[in-house]
Amino acid sequence: MNARCQKLFRTVKNRDGFTLIEMLIVIIILGILAMVIIPQITVSTEDAKVSTLKANLSGVRGTIEVYYAQHNMTYPGVLPDGINAAGTALAFVNQLTQFTDIAGVVSGTKTTTAIYGPYIKNGVLPGNPFVTDPGPPPKNNQVSVAALTTPYDNVTTQRVVITGGNGWAYWPTVGVFFANDGLKTNDVDHFTY
């Protein structure tokens, strides 16, 4: 038995390398595995982005409703924030990320009148995962604020991308917040989420 092992060892030891057939078989198997695995990774990444988009939308919409309830049924951005004009993205973002008084005037710290908020604790709106470059600073200002010209009933069914789609869109008079990236996933427009 020992002689047999030594002969096998000498045979394997004297081989110079793999044959061309062996190499081709390994390459073909690796190619087949790659064709099966890579599309699954791509689909999983897209699904994760959609889930993140929906979660971010839900979170911001919830904070908008809390603000509305605490500020005499007025949505953020409808009134000026004390720095920026009403109906601007900065007024909207400031009123959600800083302390405010009942009229929506912002303050960097909690005072006797600025007792509400901040509704988004880290001071930055969550990003739209489908937008890689939200535009010029400040990066948390990725919201296009639109003047509402249609009745409320049409807003929820006829959302459209606002020119320069840069992440989010917001109609302040009715508190409608939606994705404004102009993209689709599985033939579903992101603004319908």
Whole-number pLDDT of residue 162? 62
pLDDT at 20: 87
3-state SS track over the chain: CHHHHHHHHHHHHHCCCCCHHHHHHHHHHHHHHHHHHHHHHHHHHHHHHHHHHHHHHHHHHHHHHHHHHHCCCCCCCCCCCCCCCCCCHHHHHHHHHCEECCCCCEECCCCCCCCECCCCCCCCCCCCCCCCCCCCCCCCCCEEECCCCCCHHHHHHCCCCCCCCCEEEEECCCCEEEEECCCEECCEEHHHC
In this predicted structure, what is the pLDDT of residue 87? 79
pLDDT at 179: 86
**Residue-level pLDDT at 144:** 66
| Domain definitions of the chain by residue range | 44-126+138-192
Residues of the chain with pLDDT under 70: 1, 5, 8-16, 42-43, 132-142, 144-166
Q: Looking at residue 149, what is its pLDDT?
A: 42
